[in-house]
Structure 1
């Protein structure tokens, strides 16, 4: 079905020293190129594995945050890894922040009116 070119029966000629040098140089360059590529792929997979191992899971479970007596929640928001809760205590506004991963208190900001 396919037409193959006729085989020519010629004995293989020995390569000249310059041709052998070019072939050795090509093999060395291709080996170095392959080694660099393998190291690059290993580095990428290493970073991916490191990030997967070091990723902290989100907190699961329940938490009860105690508010002062008479306080009411005005608003809540989530920004990145922070949960922000605005509360009103006796007419004064206070903002409390919590770490979204651990649900631990991260900070408190109180507002007061100048006398």
Structure 2
């Protein structure tokens, strides 16, 4: 019913020493190549896992900061882990910075005119 090819009666020929050396060299090269690839993939996954474990969550909650009387917010910005708030206090510009993770004050920059 099915067509089957006739069996091959030729005996397998033994490899010459040169052919065996080439095969051993190829297997060694393939093994080293595979080892390097596995180490590279493991390093990438290791860095991803490390950063996921070390990542700190962003602070959630509320923070109330008192502004001087008559001050108004003229601008806000976020740069990396810093929140920047620009204030106009009676005609004087002031910049206040806060740590985005903890919402703690990080600094204050005041501008004044030269006399």
Q: Unaligned stretches of 5+ in structure 2? A: none
Residue 83 of structure 2 is aligned to residue 86 of structure 1 = no
Aligned residue in 2 for 1:11: 11
1:62 paired residue number: 62
For residues 28 and 65 of structure 1, what CA distance do their matches in structure 2 show? Answer: 67
Name the TM-score, length of structure 2 as normaliser.
Answer: 0.83
TM-score normalised by L of structure 1: 0.83
Residue 41 of structure 2 corresponds to residue 41 of structure 1? yes
Equivalent residue pairs, number: 115
Residue in 2 aligned with 1:111? 111
How much does 1:2 deviate?
A: 8.2
- 1:20 Cα deviation from its structure 2 partner: 1.5
For residues 22 and 102 of structure 2, what CA distance do their matches in structure 1 show? 62
- Over 3 Å counting, the alpha-carbon distance change for 1:39 and 1:90 in structure 2 is same
CA–CA distance in structure 2, aligned partners of residues 40 and 51 of structure 1: 17
Task: Give the aligned CA root-mean-square deviation in angstroms.
Answer: 2.1
Secondary structure at the counterpart of residue 101 of structure 2:
coil
**Stretches of structure 1 lacking an aligned partner (at least 5 in a row):** none
